[in-house]
Structure 1
Amino acid sequence: MSTSVAPTTERAPVTTGWIARFGLMYFGQHISWATPAQILLAVQVLAMYPDDKERMLAWLMGVGGLAAVIAGPLAGRFSDRTRSSFGRRRPWIVGGTVVASAMLVVAGITGSYAVLFGAWVVFQIALATSQTSVQTIPPDRVPHQQYGLISGVMGLTYTAAVVVGAALGALLPVRGAYLATALFMLLFLVPFVATYREPEGEAVPKVESRHTESGVKPTGLGRVGFNLPSFREAPDFWWVFIARLLVTMTQAIALFYLLYFLRDRVQHPDPETGVLILSAVYAVFVILTAVWSGRASDRSGKRRVFVSLSSFGVAVACLVMAFATSFTVVIGAAALLGLSWGVFQAIDQALINHVLPSAEDRAAHIGIVNLAVHIPNTAAPAIAAVLVTQAGGYPGLYAVAAALTTIGGIVVWKVRNVP
């Protein structure tokens, strides 16, 4: 059976202005976590617990990440079932963004670890609530011929948010950086939600139904209204999930010990500056390739070949890292990794939009597939530590990373209903 849901009527293409407003909103969503997660939280925890900073920061990040993992699919489910004059998605986007922004302000002014901990957990829940609905807008509204372009814009603005977030955290005092981040999040939301009109005509789902409109039967949580598709009923969805999980896991474990890799393996005299240079090279190539590859995918009508080849590109970059002993070689690997990841990030999201099992549960299923990002980011520290200590050091770590993403590039060819 087909596991993707096409629009029942032909959709009008979205305009350049629509794309720009959506991109600004997406940028604001991601700068909100990028600034505190990269710098601010570590600075605050260091000031509070200078002798126990690693453990206290790990608890903060771990519990916050777990909260986001749980909140995403549940928030998506509520969004799918919302009917209001404000639409299905906008109440959750606006509400989540307002709460998340407020928590950033609280985190910026507190001197208490308990308050910081609570603010970060609530922030993660609110952000997951907002982001799930934001990511559901393209499959709700955008014609499939523009999926690649929109996904490329998402990849570009995500990377830009990470770079700008790091700059804010480095250049501003903690309180000022939190306030600026909260303002960016709110201001960049307004142009889109003020002008967006949600599609009309989709039927109100019945929670008690035994099947979704696509024939996917509720299982597990579906018995209480959460339609979780089985592998048999939605194989394309789950193959894309597995491919994303493997490639994202590669990315996460490859970058986690980058500072130590430069110091211990490459013998770089200033590893902190080295990381900054590599991050800049990586970001430039992601930004250069994300939108271009999305448009190329739209024109060709192909998705799988872009995802597969970019996965193999990530694998080659990891193999270069496995044998690199000079910083020049590592810069080349960072460029290839950025180029490949820019393509993967753009087309992978477009592929996800194609394979969502049902229109009535789009946001819930977006929340589920986002676990393929949250799980690697949560598990990467432990996995990377085991590989470095038990699998031959950094060559072993990067060899395993290359193997994982190669499998991901092969798995995507199991998708049958998308070219």
Structure 2
Amino acid sequence: MTSSENNGSVMKHHGITDEEQPKRPVRLGLALVIGPACWLGPYIGVAATLLPAKIGQLAPDNKIALVALFSAIAMIVATIANIIAGALSDMTRTKHGKRTPWIVVNSILSAVLLVFLSMAPNIGTLIFVWAMYQAVLNAVVAPMIAQLSDRVAPKWRGTISSFYGVGMAFGNYGSGIIASQFLENVSAGIQTLAAFALIGGLISAFLASEPSNLDEQRVKFNAVTLKQNFMFPTKNCRDYYLALFGKILMVTGQFVIVGYQLYIFTDYMKLNNGQTASSVSLMSLILMITGIVFCALAGPISDRIHRLRAPVAITTIMLGIGAFFPFIDARPWTMMAYAVIAGIGMGAYNAVDQALNVAVLPNSKNAAKDLGIINMANTLGQVFGPLIAASVISVWGYRAIFPVETVICVVGGILIMMIKKVR
């Protein structure tokens, strides 16, 4: 652990100041690369590619409606789990800190549940295991991202948020490369991703080396505690909700396409299995490379220019612009063009998004809970996107989903530009 990280280790419950952390907390940054890569990667690889493939095997005639149903179930479970796990993490006191126990235990459980998912013999079992997986996955996510508020000084948040964003890019897009190799053996693909979830979660917790927080004041359960730790914030929260709803719209727009990317290639572009696998793999590679490069650039630039709001808003709108290409032509090159623009936008977005979220927190004492609520935007967007796409496809066909994404993302960018507290 570096000297700066030792400074971070003696943080108070309200976080640490720039003076207390003169150097970048690089080891924590590495933990926040590996962590999100290894919870998001298995989730996206399964949700976007392998789960639709397995649904297609078990119930081919109802696959579009079932993908939307699975998304809705994911939303309900993950929304509740995110808030509860974040709040309980804020209240946890152990010699390993308040985030590590949650990350370790639930990384193990998420891997186990993915293995069960791979062996599910019917749709009913698949739904049940998928719901359980959502619960434990979000008990990893909320405590992990709260480390940005707990242990990173304001002057480094853009850079360390960029580390987190690079991990998100690896997970988001690297998972597509891995998952596309297993379209002929879906169960093996899910089990492979389960191994990533297990190993990555444990390594991330080890690298973060969170200090004991046994000296923090224990929280008593009463009406005030319940309101403070489990309810949505109600004071000093205008910008917080603008960030929340802007993020919901950005993720919704993204998942209008991502949630149905497998079927876009097979049903809209009429590709066979081999062509689909290579197209998904190439698209994922483009998204990953552009995402990582622009994520690595955007965080330090944001710290240098002291701007968070405009980069988040502009990159949200970029996703909508990229969606015009597959609207113009139902051929694979248009999805690759979308991937280039979306990858640049998502990379820069992921670099500064979490720093923006921390900056608009109403009360840093409830960081995990309030960041968990904002992270709900990921869950809600990943549900709303496929639900909107399924509705649009059923009425107007696949081509209509692309301008719908454009409108959603532009509105999201406008909401973020309305934030006042952050430049």
Q: TM-score, normalised by structure 1?
A: 0.83
Task: Out of 330-339 and 38-47, give the one that drifted further.
Answer: 38-47
The number of aligned residues is 403
Q: CA deviation at 1:145?
A: 1.8
Q: What CA distance in whole angstroms lies between the structure 2 residues aligned with 1:152 and 1:381?
A: 28
- Counterpart of 2:152, as a letter, is V
Structure 2 residue 210 is the aligned partner of structure 1 residue 197: yes
Correspondence 1:143 to 2:153: yes
1-side partners of 2:398 and 2:327: how far apart? Answer: 6
What's the CA shift string for 1:261-292, capped at 9, x where partnerless?
A: 56787787956644443333233211221111
Q: Does the 8 A contact of 2:45 with 2:193 survive in 1? A: yes
Structure 1 Cα separation of the partners of residues 266 and 112 of structure 2? 39
Q: What SS does the aligned partner of 1:189 have?
A: helix
**Deviation larger for 106-115 or 155-164:** 106-115
Secondary structure at 1:129's aligned position in 2? helix
- CA distance in 1 between counterparts of 2:303 and 2:30 reads 18
The 1:226/1:199 distance shift into structure 2, 3 A limit, reads: same
Match of 1:306 in 2: 311
Deviations 1:99-133 (CA, angstroms, capped at 9, x unpaired): 11221232334535544433322211111111110
Quote the offset at 1:253 in angstroms.
1.6
Shift of 1:316: 2.5
Residue 323 of structure 2: aligned partner:
318
Q: Any stretches of 5+ residues in structure 1 without a counterpart?
A: 211-217
Q: Which position in structure 2 is the counterpart of 1:242?
A: 245
Report the alpha carbon displacement of residue 342 of structure 1 after superposing the two structures with TM: 1.2
For residues 6-405 of structure 1, the aligned pairs below 5 Å read 7=16, 10-12=19-21, 13-54=23-64, 58-111=68-121, 113-171=123-181, 173-195=185-207, 196-198=209-211, 203-205=217-219, 208=222, 222=227, 226-230=230-234, 233-258=236-261, 273-324=278-329, 328=333, 330-388=335-393, 396-405=400-409
What is the CA deviation profile of residues 334-355 of structure 1, one whole-angstrom value per residue up to 9, with x for unaligned ones? 3112111211122122100111
Q: Any stretches of 5+ residues in structure 2 without a counterpart?
A: 1-13
Encode CA deviations 1:384-403: one digit per residue, 9 max, x unaligned: 2444565x666654333223
Amino acid at match of 1:136: A
Q: Do the aligned residues in 2 keep the contact of 1:138 with 1:150 (CA within 8 Å)?
A: yes
Q: Do the aligned partners of residues 110 and 40 (structure 1) sit closer, same or farther apart at CA in structure 2, a change above 3 Å counting?
A: same
SS at match of 1:370: helix
In structure 2, do the counterparts of structure 1 residues 386 and 156 end up closer, same or farther at CA, with 3 Å as the change threshold? Answer: same
**2:119 touches 2:187 (CA, 8 Å); kept in 1?**
yes
**Identity fraction in percent:** 22
Which deviates the most, 306-315 or 71-80? 306-315
The residue number in structure 2 matching 1:407 is: 411
C-alpha RMSD of matched pairs (Å): 3.2
Is the 8 Å Cα contact of residues 266 and 324 (structure 1) preserved in structure 2?
Answer: no
TM-score normalised by structure 2 residue count:
0.82
Task: Deviation per CA, 1:363-407: give whole Å up to 9, x if none.
Answer: 1111111121211211222312444565x6666543332232222
> How far apart, CA to CA, are the structure 1 residues paired with 2:155 and 2:362?
19
1: CA distance between counterparts of 2:151 and 2:137?
A: 22
What SS is found at the alignment partner of 2:230?
Answer: coil
Task: Give the distance between the partners of 2:188 and 2:388, measured in 1 at CA.
Answer: 35
Work out whether residues 268 and 274 of structure 1, in 8 Å CA contact, stay in contact via their aligned partners in 2. Answer: no
- 2: CA distance, partners of 1:151 / 1:64: 26
CA distance in 1, matches of 2:282, 2:163: 24
Preserved contact between residue 174 and residue 285 of structure 2 (Cα < 8 Å): no
C-alpha distance in structure 1 between counterparts of 2:47 and 2:333, whole Å: 29
- CA gap of 1:329–1:48, structure 2 versus 1, over 3 A, is closer
Alpha-carbon distance between aligned partners in 1 of 2:391 and 2:381, rounded to the nearest angstrom? 14
Q: Aligned equivalents of 1:358 and 1:379: distance in 2?
A: 28
Deviation at 1:136, TM superposition (A): 0.8
Contact 1:227 1:361 in 2 (8 A): no
| Corresponding letter in the other structure for 1:410 | I
1:358 deviates by 1.2
